[in-house]
Amino acid sequence: MAEVQRRRHQSRKPAVLPAFEGLSSRPAWQGTLRLSLVSCAVGLYRATTTASDISFHLVNPKTGNRIKMVATDPDTGTIERSELAKGYELDKGNFVLFTDEELRSVKLETTSTLEIERFVDAGTIDRLYWDTPYLLMPRDKSAVEAYGVIQQAMLKSNRIALGRVVMHTRERLLAIEPRDSGLLATTLRMQDEVVSTAAALESVATGKADKQMVDIAERIIDQLDGPFDPDEFTDRYEDALRDLIEEKRKGHKMRRIAAPGKDSNVVDLMQALKKSLASSGKAAALVRKAAPKRKAVRR
């Protein structure tokens, strides 16, 4: 009897940690996080969401039916998706085909293992390389202890870890950093995905700007200075779309709104800077006036 219970206990799957509302129930990648000989089961979950984004479907206005996209061969017509194969175009119209089994044969260790290869200072990673953030979380309760050890060690070292995983048929470099009580992993673009900004901006004139104009521009910058508050920056276009959808739902007649005027070419840059300085100063004053006053702290 004891032997049967032991086998049942060994065959029992680890208890999956409770899901958090807003996170996908399925990780974008799952496998083993490894720091030398310390390892634990983890998953990558998108740290951003598009759940609140408005999306539209193509609809036939005559029938009200949503249109379906059908796979079509220009010679034979409609074809079932199950009959399709992945192909790489060698040259125009000439493809080499691959089966799923052939593609699965290209396996890297990073398919199932995220091994920390190096620790670097965050400041050494150019912001052009930062891409998509993910929460790196333990997959079950048995992984929590090792996960916590790695997280606490990284928190004290104040370094960013680099490792690689295979996601969506591509190997991705990850920058892993402590965040709150866990780890945040951000995919980094590879070298061939980043444009050389120095080469792209070679044609931009680098002549010496007028000192008085630069001084005025600096004053405008100072007037518009302030902290970043994400609550202040909402998607105004999405908000307008929601209002439009609500008006249509209620059956109201749409009002045509005048298009915003186009900016004319600046003829007098100095005059434009002076006007900008005056208008930004008024705007900054209104913001300061609207902000709640803080009580003086006695010392």
Q: Which residue has the higher pLDDT, 15 or 78?
A: 78
**pLDDT exceeds cutoff 70 at 93:** yes
Query: What number of other Cβ atoms are within 10 A of residue 90's Cβ?
Result: 9
Question: What gap in Å lies between CA 118 and CA 160, rounded to an integer?
Answer: 8
Q: Which residue has the higher pLDDT, 178 or 107?
A: 178
Question: What gap in Å lies between CA 175 and CA 117, rounded to an integer?
Answer: 11
Q: Smallest Cα–Cα separation from 277: which of 211, 226, 221, 210?
A: 221
* Per-residue confidence band for 294, with pLDDT thresholds at 50, 70 and 90: very low
So what's the pLDDT on residue 106?
81
> If you average pLDDT over residues 203-214, what whole number do you get?
84
**pLDDT exceeds cutoff 80 at 7:** no
So what's the pLDDT on residue 124?
94
Q: Is the dihedral of CA 122, 124, 128, 130 positive or negative?
A: negative
Q: Is the dihedral of CA 51, 182, 121, 109 positive or negative?
A: negative
250-269 pLDDT, tens digit each = 887 777 666 666 666 556 88
| pTM for the predicted model, two decimal places | 0.76
Domains located in the chain, CATH noted: 31-49+86-192 (2.40.290.10)
